[in-house]
Amino acid sequence: MRIVFLGPPGAGKGTQAARLMERHGIPQLSTGDMLRAAVKAGTPVGLKAKAIMEQGGLVPDAIVVGIVAERFMEPDAAKGFILDGFPRTVGQAEALDLALEHRGLKLDAVLELEVDPKVLVDRIERRAADTRAAGGTVRPDDTPEVVSKRLATYHEQTAPVSSYYAGSNRLKAIDGMAPIEAVAESIDAALAAPAH
Ligand code: AMP
């Protein structure tokens, strides 16, 4: 099963994608995680991405599309994958369609977690506080200023991706305001429903 998860920062994509990964035995491919790993390792991609990520902007499409297209050809993704945090621009969505088409593949579902923008900042602040309390390292882009910028970037550049998928009848909206278990149930129901 090949799934795309859309939704703003703090919508719960990571949490729900991790659950689906266990349930379906397919990997969660998070471009944010891949880029953070590249930054940590100091690779050429990481060096280009670091400052952009720290400011809450988007890493150029060509870089991100390249790492995703390589990643989904790895053996663990043969049965499918869950894309978390990608595509974030219409250009990335088009490139993903093309890359899949070249390999004779297609997406099974595009799920969008819909959340009231007013709760997102609180959720991200809570995530940072929980991480701190657990003795972990808080993401450098989880500061209030960068979170605002990330949300603005989302509304400007990523919101149109929903229309792209809605236009081809592939979008399934999920109420992301419900408790985690209820959101998980809605996702299971959406995935079980026949494709359009
Ligand atoms: P995330 O962990 O998904 O919140 O991503 C963290 C940061 O990585 C984002 O704020 C962007 O700077 C960068 N990033 C992650 N995924 C993408 C993507 N698909 N396109 C461009 N930049 C991305």
Kindly state if the Cβ of 32 falls inside 6 Å of ligand 1: yes
- The answer to whether residue 132 is catalytic is no
pLDDT in tens, 150-174: 999 999 999 999 999 999 989 999 9
Cis peptide before 194 (omega within 30 of 0): no
- pLDDT at site 63: 96
Question: Given this model, what pLDDT does residue 196 score?
Answer: 55
Confidence of residue 195 (pLDDT cuts 50, 70, 90): low
Condensed to tens digits (0 to 9), the pLDDT of residues 101-118 reads 999 999 999 999 999 988
In ligand 1, the atom with minimum distance to the C-alpha of 84 is 3
Clarify whether 150 is annotated catalytic: yes
Q: Quick check: 56 and 66 in contact, CB under 8 A?
A: no
Residue range 58-84: average pLDDT? Answer: 95
194 has a pLDDT exceeding 90: no
Q: Is 118 a catalytic residue?
A: no
Domain ranges of the chain: 2-192
Check whether 181 has a pLDDT greater than 90: yes
170 catalytic residue (yes or no): no
The residue written with tokens 């808080």 in the block is 138
CATH superfamily of 2-192: P-loop containing nucleotide triphosphate hydrolases (3.40.50.300)
Residue 9 CA, ligand 1 centroid: distance in Å = 9
- Does the CB atom of residue 28 touch ligand 1 within 6 A? no
> Ligand 1 centroid to 158 CA: how many Å?
11
Atom of ligand 1 nearest to the CA of 85: 3
Q: 151: which 2 tokens?
A: 């949300």
CA-based R_g, the chain, Å: 16
Instruction: Give the Å distance between the CA of 188 and the centre of ligand 1.
Output: 26
Residue 126 known to be catalytic: no
pTM of the complete model: 0.93
Among residues 36, 50, 88, 170, the one annotated as catalytic is 88
Any idea what DSSP says for residue 195? P
Answer whether residue 193 shows pLDDT above 90. no
| Whether the CB of 150 sits within 6 Å of ligand 1 | yes
Cα gap 87→94, rounded to integer Å = 9
Question: Which helix (H) or strand (E) segment is 135 a member of?
Answer: none
Residue with tokens 């809450």: 56
- Do the beta carbons of residue 72 and residue 29 sit within 8 Å? yes
